[in-house]
Structure 1
Amino acid sequence: MRFFALLLTASLSLAATPLLAQEPARPQPSRPSQSRPAPRANTLDSLFERLAKAGSEREADGIASLIERRLSRSGSDTADLLLSRVTKALEDKDYPLCVELLDRILALEPQWAEAWYRRALVFTMLDDPVAALADLRQAVKLEPRHFGAWTALGHLFMASDDKRQALAAYRRVLALNPQVPAIQTLVSHLGVDVEGQDL
């Protein structure tokens, strides 16, 4: 469970990170019609597109971090405040309180994939893989591109020696973010175990 402890700490600490300040819109001077179009905004969809095409691990890490920040915003001030309290409860190792707070968040925002993912990670800390698996499945149902949830699913399947499902989950991660060496290695080794051939 050491990996899950690290994954949980890294994931939940995002909630405590200040959100990136948004620059106010600057008035643009009138330009002739042949001027360059304005750059496209970094929507979540465009970030996932960029992540899939990233040319290096460093570039992918930066894009993945932006995606994680976007996913960690619910759109509800109350839910976001509760998530910051989850971070404090986690620091205090009060995992039952984490679950209680995440239950409240999910009552407010049941369509928020990130909250399901965070609660799943807390369930791993409580050694409850059944509950964790259910929450991770809900997370990827709501946001099929949630690479953190697919990674955690892969690890849960590996822990239960279900190599075929672990391989499928890890391949989903690489489809979203090909620049993850640890997952590349796992897929390579599992491919041999499950399919009997080197990928």
Structure 2
Amino acid sequence: MRALFAVFVIAAASLGVQIGAPLLGAPSGARAQGAALPDRPAAKAGPSGEAAKPPGDAAAQEPDRGKRLDALFAALKVAPDKESAKGIAERIDIALTPSGSETTDLLMSRAALASEAKDFDLAIQLLDGVLAISPDHLDAWNKRATIFYLKQDFSDALVDLRQVVAREPRHYGAWAGIAIICKEIGDEKRALEAVRNARAIYPHLDEVEDMEKTLTISVEGRPI
């Protein structure tokens, strides 16, 4: 996996967090007031009179993408071992990452460099630009959530992760991120719901297995 879960593992580790359903209620952070799904930009008519597809809209450019993702997620759920599951997860990661727009690719690249340099405000501005052009860019939502998390802006991080799972409910990396943040802020019940969502999609996601066990005992108590 390159991005779906690894980004939050790295972010959590940097803050000392141990990694081991219904969408969350809207947090009350600075961006929570604008948490509604943004409208798609209006498509301009092409030479043939048909509406041109917005840049970065991988789903529109690849009509069979949905079927391919359905097949990959189904395979991930029944993968017999960790290695085969990891290979499937990597293919899902690629399929969920839009490409084909030079503008969004450039902005994503610059945002990554800014994040590496710990210029988080610049990284957020660049990712804002990506999402203004391509509001369904899951990787941009996910990476901006990670940056908010690194800034310890948990409220805005949750807003962005909710945008991810609203668009792709099977995004186990976003559910894992929600679990990490909810655990961090003491909302263990919702953390448990989120981590179970992640593992229902990706049963071999062992990075959060201990977290699920700990939360189960904390929320539901030990089995008799």
Bucket of the pairwise TM-score, normalised by the shorter protein: 0.7 to 0.9
Q: 2:192 aligns with which of 152, 156, 167?
A: 167
Q: 2:166 aligns with which of 130, 141, 150?
A: 141
The verdict on how the C-alpha distance between 1:198 and 1:7 changes in structure 2, with shifts beyond 3 A counting, is farther
Matches within 5 A, 1:1-199: 4=8, 6-7=10-11, 43-198=68-223
The verdict on how the C-alpha distance between 1:150 and 1:74 changes in structure 2, with shifts beyond 3 A counting, is farther
Deviation at 1:182, TM superposition (A): 2.9
Q: Deviations over 1:101-151 (max 9, x none)?
A: 100000001122221111100111112111111111111111111111101
Mean Cα displacement is larger for which, 185-194 or 171-180? 185-194
Equivalents in 2 of 1:8, 1:86: separation in Å?
A: 19
* Runs of at least 5 residues in structure 2 that lack an aligned partner in the other structure: 1-6, 14-66
Equivalents in 2 of 1:151, 1:84: separation in Å?
A: 24
What secondary structure is seen at the aligned counterpart in 1 of 2:169?
A: coil
Structure of greater relative contact order (alpha carbons < 8 Å, 6+ residues apart): 2
Equivalents in 2 of 1:198, 1:140: separation in Å?
A: 31
Cα RMSD of the aligned pairs, angstroms, is 2.4
Equivalents in 2 of 1:89, 1:5: separation in Å?
A: 19
Equivalents in 2 of 1:184, 1:78: separation in Å?
A: 38
Residue identity matched to 1:73: P
Equivalents in 1 of 2:12, 2:112: separation in Å?
A: 10
The structure with the largest alpha-carbon Rg is: 1
The structure with the largest helix share of the pair is 1
The verdict on how the C-alpha distance between 1:76 and 1:127 changes in structure 2, with shifts beyond 3 A counting, is same
Deviation at 1:185, TM superposition (A): 2.1
Q: Deviations over 1:146-182 (max 9, x none)?
A: 1111010000000011110000000011111000223
Residue identity matched to 2:78: K
Taking structure 2 as the reference length, the TM-score comes to: 0.68
CA contact (8 A) 2:192 2:216 kept: yes
The verdict on how the C-alpha distance between 1:135 and 1:86 changes in structure 2, with shifts beyond 3 A counting, is same
Percent pairwise identity: 39
